[in-house]
């Protein structure tokens, strides 16, 4: 029983340089750069998904997305988009992240589900 997660990272000037780490069920399973789509094979079932940036701010690594719980069925492909805030929203979110709330920098959204 296998499924596929497809993650797309569109271009955003606010976070262009750093690759994002893809964390599935608490383990790093790959990276995604700006303007890239990656496919991650996984077992069907319930999983957690988080995206982490490689920023170093205040001597601490990374801004992240919130951890989301996803469910994928056998032979299913689930598509997600991960991206930082738009330029207009970037500064207030960056200030929140620097002052302690690091899980609001990257948004991750499920956009569709289909057969692989």
Q: Which pTM value belongs to this model?
A: 0.80
For domain 2-114, give the fold.
Immunoglobulin-like (2.60.40)
**How far apart, in whole angstroms, are the C-alpha atoms of residue 37 and residue 6?**
7
User: Tell me, what's the pLDDT at 105?
Assistant: 72
User: Tell me, what's the pLDDT at 54?
Assistant: 73
**How far apart, in whole angstroms, are the C-alpha atoms of residue 31 and residue 52?**
9
Q: Helical H runs in 4-114?
A: 87-98
pLDDT (tens digit, 0 to 9) for every residue of the chain, 116 residues total?
799 999 999 987 666 777 899 999 999 999 999 999 999 999 999 999 999 887 655 555 567 888 999 999 999 999 999 987 666 666 666 666 666 666 667 888 999 766 55
User: Tell me, what's the pLDDT at 9?
Assistant: 94
Structure tokens at 83: 């991206």
- Which residue matches tokens 């692989």? 116
Give me the residue spans of the domains in the chain: 2-114
- 8, with CB counted inside 10 A (0-12, 13-18, 19+), is middle
User: Tell me, what's the pLDDT at 88?
Assistant: 65
* DSSP helix/strand/coil, 115: coil
Looking at residue 44, the DSSP 8-state letter turns out to be S
User: Tell me, what's the pLDDT at 14?
Assistant: 64
């Amino acid at each position: 029983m296998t499924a596929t997660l497809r993650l797309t990272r569109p271009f955003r000037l606010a976070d262009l340089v750093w690759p994002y780490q893809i964390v599935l069920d608490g383990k790093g399973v790959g990276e995604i750069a700006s303007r890239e789509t990656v496919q991650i094979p996984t077992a069907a079932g319930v999983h957690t998904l988080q995206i982490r940036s490689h920023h170093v701010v205040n001597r601490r690594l990374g801004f992240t997305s919130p951890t989301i719980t996803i469910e994928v069925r056998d032979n299913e492909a689930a598509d997600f988009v991960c991206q930082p805030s738009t330029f207009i929203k970037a500064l207030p979110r960056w200030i929140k992240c620097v002052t302690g709330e690091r899980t609001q920098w990257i948004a991750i959204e499920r956009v569709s589900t289909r057969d692989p």
